[in-house]
Amino acid sequence: MCDHEVKTNCFEYIDSQMPPVPLELNVNGESIYELIDPAMTLLDFLRVSLKLFGTKEGCREGECGACTVIMNGRAVPSCLILAIEAQGADIITVEGLSKNGELSILQQEFIKEDGLQCGFCTPGMLMSAKALLDRNPNPTVDEVKEAIAGNLCRCTGYKSIINAILSAAKREREALSNG
Amino acid sequence: MLSKFDYYKPVSLEKATEYLNENSETKILAGGTDLLISLQKNKERCKHILDIKAIPELNRFTYTEGRGYFIGAAITVNQISEEKLLREKYPAISQGADALGSYQVRNRATMVGNICNASPGADLAAPLLVYDAKVHIASSEGIRATDLCDFFTGVKKTILKPKDLVIGISIPDVERGDRSVYLRKSRIKGADLCNVAIALRINPENKLSIALGAVSTIPMRLFELERKIAERELTPELGDWLAAEIKTYINPRRDSIRSSPEYRYLITGVLAKRGLLKLIDKEGA
Ligand code: FES
Ligand code: FES
């Protein structure tokens, strides 16, 4: 865990040394069972234990949205959830978006609309956007803005991100009605 | 994080209060959107975490005709935002829920957590205050209820004792024609804390209730001002009087990083007038 008082250890997880607790959950369709540190956040569990580095750590205080994952269908900040709280949960991370090596429509539209530059905010943006489209397949611009208001981007600018989400919504609706 | 804690998630209220009784240095975990920040920044320490989300009473979210709502301590802010009947009957509460944090945070944060943290600018405080909400508290000695207006005692301070556990908040039923509004001013349009927050409510007998957030050490209901208003007629002209008068009831911090006291005095007046005009059905301000 990044200990703000021990700066040298920012990239290392420091175990609390408390007796480990069993955690069972589903991540991107895979059942997982592990003994974990009770003080570990869901963000650290994904990155440190499961080596799923797609989910990013930005602020660790719920402000930036880089750590957003989908938990039981809802977009949540994984930095503010203890891993043990995800007992029995279904988690989707950015790694779970593509199927059989093919990017999801949402991911494809982010590329097409130039919805990313450095890409640091992108996993969080994608998860917030996916959660939105899952509950509301036809969102307005304002609804998109509201859904990603908790996701900060330092480089792309929000316009192309919003466009990417809107055109993904359109393509997904078309795919559904043709399907 | 310097805290070393174990984690306990009881499935009954009795077990939870028992645990609190036996284990000092326990922190109660509901949404965790405040607690996990202060633990990770070492602003707070604890030895035990008590996760209350599996206790059935705390997951209650019910409306009973004539009695109103009961909102359990495990109910998230987004669950409140999504409740249609609540939005119809108590618009200010839904608007407060919409304004809190970001969408992701609202999926975790709870209404009761927002109240128990007792931030002066807690978005749900002012709306709940104008509806005479009650806080229901359990401890090993039993259950008691207290008026929300007596709950806050200072910045991040409440009447709660270390062994207390809030079960939920009840809001009395309202009659047809009851209306309310929640207005806030923040630095940016997106997710941001507020500089000034105000909830106004007019009941069918034309009685106005007002509560403020972020302009004093605690969120507060302005009973005295309400009594003065009751002696007057609710007309659009009252807006200017209210805008001037309300400033005498607030006490904004000198050292806030978000805005100067002068700005808060001004905006409190502006929002009070705007809210009043909205409620008496006139555009403008
Ligand atoms: S890292 Fe979780 S919101 Fe920034
Ligand atoms: S693409 Fe760089 S932060 Fe958004």
Query: Do A112 and A57 belong to one domain?
Result: no
With respect to residue B62, please indicate whether it lies within any of the assigned structural domains.
yes
Please report, for the domain that includes residue B20, its CATH number.
Answer: 3.30.43.10
Query: Do A40 and A71 belong to one domain?
Result: yes
With respect to residue B1, please indicate whether it lies within any of the assigned structural domains.
no
With respect to residue A78, please indicate whether it lies within any of the assigned structural domains.
yes
**Which of A77, A96, A115 delimits the end of a domain?**
A96
The average pLDDT across A88-93 equals 98
Please report, for the domain that includes residue A148, its CATH number.
Answer: 1.10.150.120
The answer to whether residues B226 and B198 touch, using CB atoms and an 8 Å cutoff, is no
Angle at B157 between CA B172 and CA B119, to 5 degrees: 75
Query: What's residue B190's pLDDT?
Result: 66
**ipTM computed for the complex:** 0.94
Interface of B with A (CB under 8 A): 1-7, 9, 29, 32-33, 36-37, 40-42, 49, 51, 53, 78, 101-105, 107-108, 190-191
With respect to residue A162, please indicate whether it lies within any of the assigned structural domains.
yes
Query: Do B267 and B233 belong to one domain?
Result: yes
With respect to residue A8, please indicate whether it lies within any of the assigned structural domains.
no
CB burial string B170-192: b at 16+ within 10 A, e below: bbeebeeebbbbbbbbbeeeebb
Q: Which domain holds residue A58?
A: 21-96
Full-model pTM? 0.94
With respect to residue A47, please indicate whether it lies within any of the assigned structural domains.
yes
What contacts A159, CB < 8 A, 6 or more positions away? none
A9 falls in which pLDDT band (50, 70, 90)? low
Query: What's residue A11's pLDDT?
Result: 65
The average pLDDT across A92-109 equals 97
Query: What's residue B11's pLDDT?
Result: 98
The average pLDDT across B162-187 equals 94
DSSP-derived 3-state class of residue B36: helix
Q: Decide if pLDDT at A143 tops 50.
A: yes
Query: Do B80 and B214 belong to one domain?
Result: yes
Give contacts of B105 with chain A, Cβ < 8 Å. Answer: 62, 77, 80, 150
Q: Which domain holds residue B10?
A: 6-51
- Domain count of chain B? 2
With respect to residue B42, please indicate whether it lies within any of the assigned structural domains.
yes
Q: Decide if pLDDT at B61 tops 60.
A: yes
Query: What's residue A179's pLDDT?
Result: 73
Query: Do A87 and A38 belong to one domain?
Result: yes
Q: Which of A7-16, B54-63, B258-267 has the highest mean pLDDT?
A: B54-63
Query: Do B69 and B148 belong to one domain?
Result: yes
Spacing, Cα A15 to ligand 1 middle (Å): 20
| pLDDT digit string, tens, across residues B206-254 | 999 999 998 888 999 999 999 999 999 999 899 999 999 999 998 877 7
Average pLDDT of chain A is 94
- Compute φ and ψ for B228, nearest 5 degrees: -65, -40
| pLDDT digit string, tens, across residues A52-71 | 999 999 999 999 999 999 99
Positive or negative: CA dihedral B250, B251, B254, B256: negative
Query: Do A55 and A119 belong to one domain?
Result: no
The answer to whether residues A133 and A164 touch, using CB atoms and an 8 Å cutoff, is no
With respect to residue B271, please indicate whether it lies within any of the assigned structural domains.
yes
The answer to whether residues B96 and B127 touch, using CB atoms and an 8 Å cutoff, is yes
The answer to whether residues B94 and B125 touch, using CB atoms and an 8 Å cutoff, is no
Q: Decide if pLDDT at B285 tops 50.
A: no
Spacing, Cα A160 to ligand 2 middle (Å): 11
Q: Which ligand is nearest to the CA of A47?
A: 1
